Amino acid sequence: MTALDRRRGLILFGLILIAVVIISLAAYRMTGPMGIEERYNQAVGLPNAGEEEGSGWFGFSVEGNPLLYGVILVILGGICTFAYLRWKREESR
């Protein structure tokens, strides 16, 4: 693999990342901070369940044990890092 191929891959990854960020921001702007349950209840005419206001971040809130979500996130990050380092080592051979 040449340096040009590596650079092309990095540029492609950057373009995909920028596209995902732009689409995500557009989706947030269209839907607002209201969560899926609130939007559904409003659409079908059901009363809101009365969840505490401001408990989420960008319309998302952690239901359950936040420590468990953190542990899962760290494990997934470790798996991704391991896979990347293994791929990079095989590419350098």
- Residue type (1 letter), 36: I
Q: Of 75, 69, 72, whose CA–CA distance to 57 is shortest?
A: 69
pTM: 0.45
Output the DSSP codes for 21-50.
HHHHHHHHHHHTT--HHHHHHHHHTPPP--
CB atoms within 10 A of CB 35: 17
Per-residue pLDDT of the chain (93 residues; tens, 9 = 90+): 577 777 887 788 889 989 998 998 888 787 777 777 888 888 898 887 665 555 565 555 666 677 777 888 899 999 988 988 888 887 777
